[in-house]
Amino acid sequence: MDKLTVKRPIVVYKDAAATEKDDIVREFPLTIFINHKEILTIVCSPDHLAELGVGFLLSEGIVQNLSDIHAIELQEDEGFLNFVLDETAALPSGFLRRNIASCCGKGRAGLYFISDAKQVRAVPSDVQFRSEHILRAITLLEERSDVFRCTGGVHNAALSDINIENEPLVLMFEDIGRHNTIDKLIGAAFLRSVDVKEKYLVFSGRITSEIVIKAARANISLIVSKAAPTDLAVELAEELNLATIGFARKDRFNIYSHPEKIRIR
């Protein structure tokens, strides 16, 4: 946690008294290069930077297989991350060099997004997920969100296994950007060759169309969130054979797409 937070003296006023509190989440600019050509800068939490970069490349459709990446060169102190890909590797049509802030927007052009969505294939999965396991996973996500409890300044995402006898949360990441948590998660799963067929995404943030695209490109067929989905996210999820669950709490949730994938006890 020390890497993700910084201690600063502040004054908290409550009940007519002032107290000190000093844990603040860090914000870090990471510039990504492909074959030493600058592509973009992402504002993120300063951990698991290679996983974040790999997840971003997967989400954008720039790489599909581990063999597509010949080398990962991280200069952490400088905030530089270079990926060595085939010289023939091409960015998607319409891809623009841009900055990605830690807020919800990504600054991409509308036409590029429409093209991006049309290129995504439906998730080839008929796996069913059990309601009691989903509720257990969302509870564990909240319980293990250490940086959020300390600072209130991050999102979190985890990959959960449907086998209830296994450790439910296979991977978990926290970041100031909700998109970044997903990229770190799918990047780590990709680098570790984790089979995601019987796993699903558990998430603290709002489910938008971009989150659905990231999950679909990683072949994840269920997103469970503590927050709400957008209408476009639900429409895309229906088309991409992906179940979406919002407002997940300890004893309830709402199913917005592909309810047949959820086994209600």
Active-site annotation, residues = 104
156 — alpha (psi -120 to 50), left (phi > 0) or beta?
beta
- 95 to 39, 168, 175, 264: CA distances (angstroms): 9, 37, 24, 42
Which of 181, 185, 183, 182 is CA-nearest to residue 171? 185
Rounded Cα distance between 23 and 5, Å, is 6
52 vs 44: CA distance, rounded Å: 9
Question: Contact at 8 Å (CB) between 249 and 139?
Answer: no
Strands, E assignment, the chain? 5-14, 17-25, 28-34, 37-44, 69-75, 80-85, 98-100, 129-130, 155-161, 169-175, 199-203, 222-225, 243-246, 254-257, 262-263
Q: Residue type for 202, please?
A: V
Q: Largest Cα–Cα distance in the chain? A: 64
Looking at residue 98, its amino acid is R
Beta partners for residue 245, in sequence order: 224, 255
47 in Cβ contact with 180 (< 8 Å) = no
